[in-house]
Amino acid sequence: MRLFIVASIASTLPAIIMRWLHIESDPRLGAMIFGIGIFGAAFMLSWAAEVAQLDISRGLALAILALIAILPEYAVDLYFAWVAAYEPAYSSYATANMTGANRLLVGGGWPFIVLLFCLKFGKSEIRLETTNRAEISYLLVATLYAFTIPVKGSLALIDFVILASIFACYVWRTAVMEVEEPHLVGPARLIASLSKGKRRSVNVCLFLFAAFAIFSCAEPFAEALIASGKVLGIDEYFLVQWLAPLASEAPEFIIAALWTLRGQAPAAIGALISSTVNQWTLLVGTIPVVYSISSGAVRQMVLDTRQQQEIFLTASQSILAVVILMNLRMNLWESAALFFLFASQLIFPGIRIEVGVLFLILAAILMFRRTKDVGPLLREGLLIPKKR
């Protein structure tokens, strides 16, 4: 297990050296090196967050894991937001990584976890726990607000205030949940076997080193992706939206898969839902803050037509996913529908609006059949008192 930790650290070193010694390379090679650096850093962050479950509630640990796991996306997206203040061409990339990662999580990650669980245990569905209503309910709130963004056609500081407030409430909700003893394996188990003081010290060191690696990789990785697209004749937006999330989300997918194989599918799905909540709230909300700071004045980031369509499609997919989980179950057919629609818009990007509308139609039909699940979801997820 020590070998995995050493390998993860080693995978970041070429990127760190290239970044701070200002070593130039072919953009395609640079994208690979810096992408591998982000990949290794994401693993370290995920192990540290897993071990944190020994001291805090599982729900809060999942929220922290999700927040930590998307730090690479924060780094890339916020870099684009910063540069967009004085290079308007970069504004079209500002939300690309977030929308791609979000749709990859829901359209690819969730169905993969369901399929893996059903194949492993001979089931036809995953049954979640009542505690998962916390993640689902806040994903619902965040998604509903997300629909206002393409309508407004901009991201402003008021969006940060509202989205950050939703995130703060979500963290508070998960913090009051009960602490559960986690079942750790691999490097996380090795770290957990240390004494409390050493364990926490190692966790802090892993986090700090991984954060430094991500900080070192973010800018050159983002620039290398754009340059690679120009060299290869591939749409740069496509690379930013899909290649970058593959590097940052892969460790989270692997951890979720390992949990699923150990029979912890609810925790695996919960972690992926938490990531989606984080992306819709803190990540999206921080973009206009960084944009304004870089501009030297309070400004709103105007979204182009493609960005508006991408956010609409992503929110539509998210709302269907929430409705599917309202009854705390997700079966193979529902997973297949999510994956098929995700794949269709990936293969045929010109049908974003049509697929988004189809997501909403399916959500409305399914919602009509599951109205009885709305009350328990809101009461237990948001801690809304039941009317007497």
The enclosing domain of 282 has a CATH number of 1.20.1420.30
The size of the chain, in residues, is 388
Check residue 176 and give its pLDDT. 73
Determine, yes or no, domain membership for 386: no
Q: Which of 105, 87, 222, 81 is nearest to 154 (CA)?
A: 81
On the CB side of 294, how many CA atoms lie within 13 Å of its CA? Answer: 20
Domain span holding position 72: 2-375
51 falls within a domain: yes
In a domain, 384, yes or no: no
Cut 0.85: pTM above it: no
Q: Which pairing describes strands 329-331 and 125-127: parallel, antiparallel, or unpaired?
A: antiparallel
CA separation for the pair 111, 119 (Å, rounded): 12
pLDDT of residue 28: 87
pLDDT tens string 194-250: 888 888 888 888 888 888 888 788 778 878 878 888 788 878 788 788 877 776 676
Confidence of residue 66 (pLDDT cuts 50, 70, 90): low
Number of domain units in the chain: 1
Dihedral of alpha carbons 45, 51, 55, 58, sign: positive
382 within some domain: no
Binned at pLDDT 50, 70 and 90, residue 17 comes out as: very high
